[in-house]
């Protein structure tokens, strides 16, 4: 989980370096945009990017790079992200029309059962529309500009290598940041591009893996057991985590839909949601718990010793997570799902209440995304005092 070796990067007496952690979760990442919109509103006019280190995984990687590309004008970058997410529909992310759904399903079956086209990666859904959207919306040169003007220290996205079995964090940052090598996870300096985002957000089976150099990569959340550690390796000594599930430690478990005891066999959708949650949610929540325990144990060490041993210094973490179950919200917007996709998902049980968790990851539609943005904004504003303290905005207002 939390990598104590990464803590060694936190040098004593160094000024605070704030890291932003954006987790994965498909359409759930709309919630992150609402939180960021609230932060932009809390910042004074013309304020610089408050997050020198930005780390994202899966859909969170897309939001992270979107912020980094516009780091020279943080508020405008948030407005751009908000505009895209508020106008989303499934056809901008993957083919949801009848021809696209059936054609991709036939290709998947031919590939999986008959070995047809075995040299080309295939998946259940055709995600080619997302490539076109990202090409249109992102200007990767903005990352280099922000680094040169020292408005950004580093931005990173994580992907999973299918052959190596490693979680690879691709990062673009200042030359002083050293790459790292840990058990099944490494940090690789590079110039980020579209392929890194598509690889990091390629949910296994649903979306096809993406080739980077000699290896195919998929969703970074699959093997990233320490989601916070890349930010520490990149120099952060405190982190803001925007999650996409409720925080069990605060008595607010998010995944509550369909928990009643029915005695019936689980549907494919029910099994799928547990797999998705274990991939996108459990590791982050576990990592936060470990960090909190490490901070507690560190607090028991005399201050003088902590001051001289970097590995013993505490890492402050602030978590903002949904106050409402996203499964329930997704179930309310089932009608937005294209009819062809609704037909395709009916058999596995994803269109029933018990399978709404799957929809919460796949429902890239305007009503659902806007509801998550509103929820993220509200939850962040409910924590405005904590956010202002964490970002040092109270001192600025004095």
Pairwise CA distance, residues 306 & 301, whole Å: 7
Identify whether the C-beta of residue 157 lies closer than 8 Å to the C-beta of residue 63.
no
The widest CA-to-CA distance across the chain, in whole angstroms, is: 69
pLDDT tens-digit readout, 334-386: 888 887 777 767 666 555 655 567 788 889 999 999 999 999 999 999 999 99
> 367, 339, 286, 312: which is closest to 86 by C-alpha?
367
Active site residue 144: no
Q: Where are the beta strands (DSSP E) in 190-328?
A: 210-212, 215-219, 238-242, 316-320
Pairwise CA distance, residues 360 & 118, whole Å: 31
DSSP 188: E
| Catalytic residue (one of 58, 229, 267, 360) | 58
- Mean pLDDT of the region 169-177: 92
User: Quick check: 131 pLDDT over 70?
Assistant: yes
Pairwise CA distance, residues 66 & 68, whole Å: 6
With a CB cutoff of 8 Å and minimum separation 6, the contacts of 101 are 95, 125, 340, 341, 344
- Mean pLDDT of the region 112-137: 82
Domain residue spans in the chain? 18-94+123-247+266-387
DSSP 93: T
In the chain, % of residues over pLDDT 70: 72
Q: What is the pTM of this model?
A: 0.84
Both tokens assigned to 240? 């803001």
Active site residue 58: yes
pLDDT at 305: 60
| Catalytic residue (one of 126, 219, 287, 327) | 219
- Mean pLDDT of the region 311-327: 82
- Mean pLDDT of the region 59-82: 94
Confidence of residue 7 (pLDDT cuts 50, 70, 90): very low
Confidence of residue 229 (pLDDT cuts 50, 70, 90): confident
pLDDT tens-digit readout, 268-300: 655 665 666 666 565 666 666 666 666 666 666
Both tokens assigned to 227? 């989601």
Tell me if residue 12 falls in helix, strand or coil: coil
- Give the DSSP H/E element, type plus range, for residue 389: helix 384-390
DSSP assignment of 352-373 equals SGGGHHHHHHH---HHHHHHHH
Superfamily of domain 18-94+123-247+266-387: Cytosolic phospholipase A2 catalytic domain (3.40.1090.10)
């Amino acid at each position: 989980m939390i990598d104590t070796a990464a803590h060694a990067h936190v040098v004593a007496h160094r000024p605070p370096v704030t890291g932003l952690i954006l987790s994965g979760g498909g359409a759930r990442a709309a919630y992150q945009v609402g939180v960021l919109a609230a932060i932009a509103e809390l910042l004074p006019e013309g304020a610089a990017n408050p997050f020198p280190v930005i780390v994202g995984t899966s859909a969170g990687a897309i939001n992270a790079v979107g912020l980094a590309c516009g780091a020279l004008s943080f508020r405008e970058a948030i407005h751009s992200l908000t505009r895209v997410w508020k106008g989303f529909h499934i056809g901008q992310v993957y083919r949801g029309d009848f021809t696209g759904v059936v054609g991709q399903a036939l290709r998947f079956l031919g590939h999986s059962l008959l070995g047809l086209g075995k040299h080309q990666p295939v998946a259940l859904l055709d995600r080619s529309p997302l490539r076109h959207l990202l090409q249109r919306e992102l200007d990767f040169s903005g990352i280099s500009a922000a680094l040169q003007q020292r408005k950004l220290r580093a931005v990173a996205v994580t992907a999973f290598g299918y052959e190596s079995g490693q979680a690879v964090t691709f990062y673009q940052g200042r030359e002083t940041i050293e790459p790292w090598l840990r058990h099944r996870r490494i940090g690789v300096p590079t110039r980020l591009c579209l392929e890194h985002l598509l690889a990091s957000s390629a949910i296994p089976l649903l979306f096809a893996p993406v080739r980077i150099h000699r290896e195919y990569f998929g969703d970074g959340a699959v093997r990233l057991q320490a989601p916070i550690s890349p930010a520490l390796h990149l120099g952060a000594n405190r982190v803001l985590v925007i999650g996409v599930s409720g925080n069990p430690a605060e008595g607010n478990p998010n995944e509550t839909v369909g928990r009643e005891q029915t005695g019936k066999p689980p549907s494919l959708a029910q099994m799928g949601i547990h797999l998705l949650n274990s991939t996108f949610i459990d590791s982050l929540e576990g990592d936060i718990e470990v960090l909190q325990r490490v901070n507690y144990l560190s607090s028991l060490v005399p201050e003088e010793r902590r001051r001289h041993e970097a590995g013993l210094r505490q890492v402050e973490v602030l978590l903002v997570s949904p106050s409402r179950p996203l499964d329930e919200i997704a179930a309310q917007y089932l009608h937005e799902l294209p009819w062809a996709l609704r037909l395709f998902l009916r058999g596995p049980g994803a269109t029933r209440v018990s399978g709404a968790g799957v929809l919460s990851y796949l429902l890239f539609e305007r009503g659902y995304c806007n509801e998550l943005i509103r929820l993220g904004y509200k939850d962040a504003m409910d924590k405005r005092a904590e956010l202002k303290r964490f970002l040092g905005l109270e001192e600025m207002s004095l």
